[in-house]
Chains A and B, each alone.
Chain A
Amino acid sequence: DAGITQSPRHKVTETGTPVTLRCHQTENHRYMYWYRQDPGHGLRLIHYSYGVKDTDKGEVSDGYSVSRSKTEDFLLTLESATSSQTSVYFCAIRARGGNTEAFFGQGTRLTVV
Chain B
Amino acid sequence: KQEVTQIPAALSVPEGENLVLNCSFTDSAIYNLQWFRQDPGKGLTSLLLIQSSQREQTSGRLNASLDKSSGRSTLYIAASQPGDSATYLCAVWRNRDDKIIFGKGTRLHILP
Contact = CB atoms under 8 A, between A and B. Distances in A.
Given A42-B104, A45-B100, A92-B100, A106 B43 contact: yes
Interface of A: 31, 33, 35, 40-45, 48, 50, 56, 58, 90, 92, 94, 98-107
Interface of A is mostly: strand
Contacts of B97: 56
Interface residues of B, number: 25
Contacts, number: 58
Interface of B: 31-32, 34, 36, 42-46, 49, 51-52, 89, 91, 93, 95, 97-105
7 contacts: A41-B104, A45-B101, A48-B98, A56-B97, A58-B99, A94-B98, A94-B100
B51 A107 contact: no
Contacts of A35: 102
Given A99-B51, A104-B44, 20 more contacts: A40-B104, A42-B105, A43-B89, A45-B99, A45-B100, A48-B98, A90-B43, A94-B98, A94-B100, A98-B51, A98-B95, A99-B31, A99-B49, A100-B32, A101-B49, A102-B93, A102-B100, A103-B46, A107-B42, A107-B43
